[in-house]
Amino acid sequence: MKMSKEKTRKQPSVFAAFSPLVVMFLVVGIGSGFLGLDSRMLFMACLLYTIIVGYACGFSWAEMEAAAVKKLSKFVIPSVMLMVLGAFLASTMLSGATPVLVVWLSKLVTPRLILPLSFLLCSFMCTLIGCNWTTCGTLGLVLFSIGIVQGVNPFLLAGAVVSGATFGTYVSPISDVMIQHAAFAEVPVTSFIKEMNRPSYISLGICAILYAVVGFLTTSAPTAEQTELLSTFSANVSAIYHVNPIVILPIVVCIVLAYKRVPIIPTMLISTAIGIAIGCFLQGFNLVTSFKACYKGFSSASMLTQIAPDVEISSLLATLTDRGGVLDFIGAVVTLLLLITNVAITELFGAFGHLRRWFFKSNNGSLWGLHLKMAAFCSIASVLVFNTNAVMAVAAEVFEEPCEKMGVSKIKIACTSKTWGTMVMNALPFMTTPLTFAAVFGFDSSMRYYPYAFIFFVISIVMTVMNSLKLNEIDHPELAVAKTV
What is the DSSP-derived secondary structure letter of residue 280? I
Least confident range of 9-23, 144-158, 173-187, 358-372? 173-187
Q: Nearest-CA neighbor of 250 among 147, 142, 166?
A: 142
pLDDT of residue 249: 93
Higher pLDDT, 52 or 341: 52
Does 85 score more than 50 pLDDT?
Answer: yes
pLDDT of residue 484: 46
Most confidently predicted of 41-55, 99-113, 140-154, 210-224 = 41-55
What is the number of alpha carbons within 13 Å of residue 262 lying toward its C-beta? Answer: 15
pLDDT of residue 472: 81
Most confidently predicted of 65-79, 152-166, 184-198, 238-252 = 152-166
What is the DSSP-derived secondary structure letter of residue 450? G
Tens of pLDDT along 442-476? 888 888 899 999 999 999 999 999 988 888 887 76
Provide the residue type at 243 as one letter.
Answer: V
Q: What is the mean pLDDT of residues 253-276?
A: 86
Distance of alpha carbon 424 from the chain centroid: 11
Rg (CA), the chain: 24
Does 319 score more than 50 pLDDT?
Answer: yes
pLDDT of residue 385: 63
CB count within 10 Å of CB 273 equals 16
- Residue 223 dihedral angles phi and psi, to the nearest 5°: -80, 170
pLDDT of residue 449: 94
| Banded model confidence at residue 159, pLDDT cuts 50, 70, 90 | very high
192-229 as b/e: b if 16+ CB within 10 A:
bbbbbebbbbbbbebbbebbbebbeeebeebeeeeeeb
Q: Nearest-CA neighbor of 20 among 379, 460, 343?
A: 343
pLDDT of residue 360: 63
Q: Nearest-CA neighbor of 316 among 243, 242, 232, 223?
A: 232
Q: How far apart are CA 39 and CA 177, in angstroms?
A: 28
Does 269 score more than 90 pLDDT?
Answer: yes
Residues 6 or more apart whose Cβ sits within 8 Å of residue 339: 43, 386, 430, 431
Q: What is the mean pLDDT of residues 158-169?
A: 93
pTM: 0.74
Q: What is the mean pLDDT of residues 234-251?
A: 88
Higher pLDDT, 403 or 266: 266
Tens of pLDDT along 387-445? 676 677 667 767 777 777 788 887 888 888 889 888 988 888 877 788 889 888 888 88
Tens of pLDDT along 351-378? 766 766 676 665 556 788 888 888 888 8
Q: What is the mean pLDDT of residues 195-214?
A: 94
Q: How far apart are CA 81 and CA 268, in angstroms?
A: 9
Least confident range of 27-41, 199-213, 233-247, 252-266? 27-41
CB count within 10 Å of CB 113 equals 15
Higher pLDDT, 465 or 101: 465
pLDDT of residue 214: 94
Q: Are 476 and 411 in contact (CB under 8 A)?
A: yes
Does 481 score more than 50 pLDDT?
Answer: no
| Banded model confidence at residue 2, pLDDT cuts 50, 70, 90 | very low
Whole-number mean pLDDT of the chain?
Answer: 82
Helix, strand and coil in the chain, % to nearest 5: 80, 0, 20
Least confident range of 59-68, 174-183, 198-207, 347-356? 174-183
Q: Nearest-CA neighbor of 88 among 346, 294, 315, 344?
A: 294
What is the number of alpha carbons within 13 Å of residue 437 lying toward its C-beta? Answer: 34
